[in-house]
Structures are given as structure tokens and as C-alpha cells.
Amino acid sequence: MIGGCGSTLGGATHGSSATFSGRSATKTPPPVVAAIERANKMREEEERERGERGEEEIHFNTERIRKARNVYDNCTKLYSAAVGKRVAKREREECELEDLSFAYGEVSFEAVCQVITKIVKKFGKEGEGTSPPEGILQGKGGRYYDLGSGTGKTLIAASMLHEFGYVCGVEYLEGLFNTSQEIVSKWEKVFKKTFFNEENGFEESGGGGRVKLKSCTGIC
């Protein structure tokens, strides 16, 4: 409380309980607080439903995932999200690209892992939803595409988390495309063999763990 007023957001007072003429007036919570409360409520409902179904949260603790994360971190450690943002920002300014869809963002290793694991263990099962008779990602093979692949980091994660036959990233911004080529080159020449080897017991997929990159400006 400052001077008898609550916090301000955009010049308006929100979320405070101020006293005027001896009476207490409770203000409406700000939109951000209301959104957080709704999100928390939705999460509680999802957790309750999951408990009723007996469904467990996905935990990233299998041997393959632990080793994949270690290789991923070593392969991409010089290419933080800040690097991608800097490269994208420079090119957007040079090319006067004002469309916010070109703003840089990253999908984490954990997010890629969770999506693939959800498909393999639940949504890709035979007879689940619109899955075909053979299911989706229920064995070796399949194709992984990342449209707007940025620095290509999700491609490295995907190539280790499932034995895809084809892993491909497509990127529009030339600077990000060139950066992704650097990362993928490191994967192909150095880090792929530290993951796919007899000691780990992980076989290369039909695609040989290879990652393909395409520049959107070159194929459109």
C-alpha cells in the first residue's frame, strides 16, 4: 500500500482494498491475476481427472532420455536462446520484417520429449482417436517436421528420442538457417556417434539419425 492505494497497472488501480469514508471497497483483481487463477483452476481439474483415470505424469527418467539430454546439452551449449533471438532480431531489422511471427522462440528438450512420449504411450496407440490400425510412432520410422525450426535444436532432440526415418527442419530466416547448419554439422560429425553406439545400446533409425535442413526462401 502506497498512500492508501494498491498496485497500479496501466495507470489504473487494481487488486487493492482501500478505505474511503470509513468503508472498505474491494477492487476487481487485475486481468493478469484473473488469468493466473483460471489457469491454476484448469490445472487442478486436469490433475483430478488424471487421477481418476489413473494416468501418471510423464517423468523424464528413462536411460535413453537421460543420455539424450546429456548429448543434447553438450551439442547445443554454445547456442542458447539468447543467440537465436539476437540472430533473428538482427535479420528482422535489416529486412524490415515487422510481422511478429518472425520473432524468435524455442521449444525445450522436455517439451519435445513430452509430446513424443505422449504420442507413443497414449495418443498414437491403435484405436486411439484417429490413429490408423498400425498406430502412430508405435515402431521404428515416421517423419518429424519442424516448420520454423530456428536454430534446429528440436531436430537434435527428436532424432534421439524416437527412431524416426526422417527428421527435417524448415526455416525462413537465413541467419537462423545458417546457425542451424552449424549445430546439425556438430551433431553429424561429433555427437551422433556418442549417442548411437553399442555401449549405449541405441540403434540408428532408418534415417541413420540424419537431420535434414531446408531454407524456406529456397524452396518456396
Q: Is residue 43 assigned to a domain?
A: no
Helix (H, G, I), strand (E, B) or coil at 132: coil
Q: Average pLDDT, stretch 52-76?
A: 74
In this predicted structure, what is the pLDDT of residue 55? Answer: 43
Q: Is residue 95 assigned to a domain?
A: yes
pLDDT digits (tens, 9 = 90+) for 119-152: 988 888 888 888 888 888 888 888 999 999 999 9
Residue span of the structural domain in which 214 resides? 63-219
Q: Is residue 76 assigned to a domain?
A: yes
Q: Average pLDDT, stretch 8-24?
A: 38
Angle at 176 between CA 165 and CA 157, to 5 degrees: 35
d(CA 177, CA 33): 39
CB 95 within 8 A of CB 102: no
Residue whose C-alpha cell reads 498414437 in the numeric block: 124
- Selection from 37, 98, 165 nearest residue 45 by Cα: 37
d(CA 56, CA 195): 28
Given a cut of 70, whether residue 193 has pLDDT beyond it is yes
Q: Average pLDDT, stretch 92-97?
A: 93
Q: Grid coordinates in use for 199?
A: 555401449
In the chain, how many domains are there? Answer: 1
Alpha helices in the chain (DSSP H): 31-53, 63-76, 81-94, 109-118, 153-161, 174-186, 192-195, 216-219
Q: Is residue 17 assigned to a domain?
A: no
50 — pLDDT class (breaks 50, 70, 90): low
Given a cut of 80, whether residue 30 has pLDDT beyond it is no
135: left (phi over 0), alpha (psi -120 to 50) or beta: left
Q: Is residue 193 assigned to a domain?
A: yes
62 — pLDDT class (breaks 50, 70, 90): confident
Q: Is residue 56 assigned to a domain?
A: no
Q: Is residue 163 assigned to a domain?
A: yes
Which of 36-45, 77-86, 120-129 has the largest mean confidence?
77-86
Q: Which range, of 9-18, 137-146, 191-200, averages the lowest pLDDT? A: 9-18
Proportion of the chain above pLDDT 90, given as a percent: 41
Q: Is residue 28 assigned to a domain?
A: no
Q: Average pLDDT, stretch 58-78?
A: 84
pLDDT digits (tens, 9 = 90+) for 101-114: 889 999 999 999 99
pLDDT digits (tens, 9 = 90+) for 165-176: 899 999 999 999
- Selection from 144, 193, 191, 199 nearest residue 170 by Cα: 144
49 — pLDDT class (breaks 50, 70, 90): low
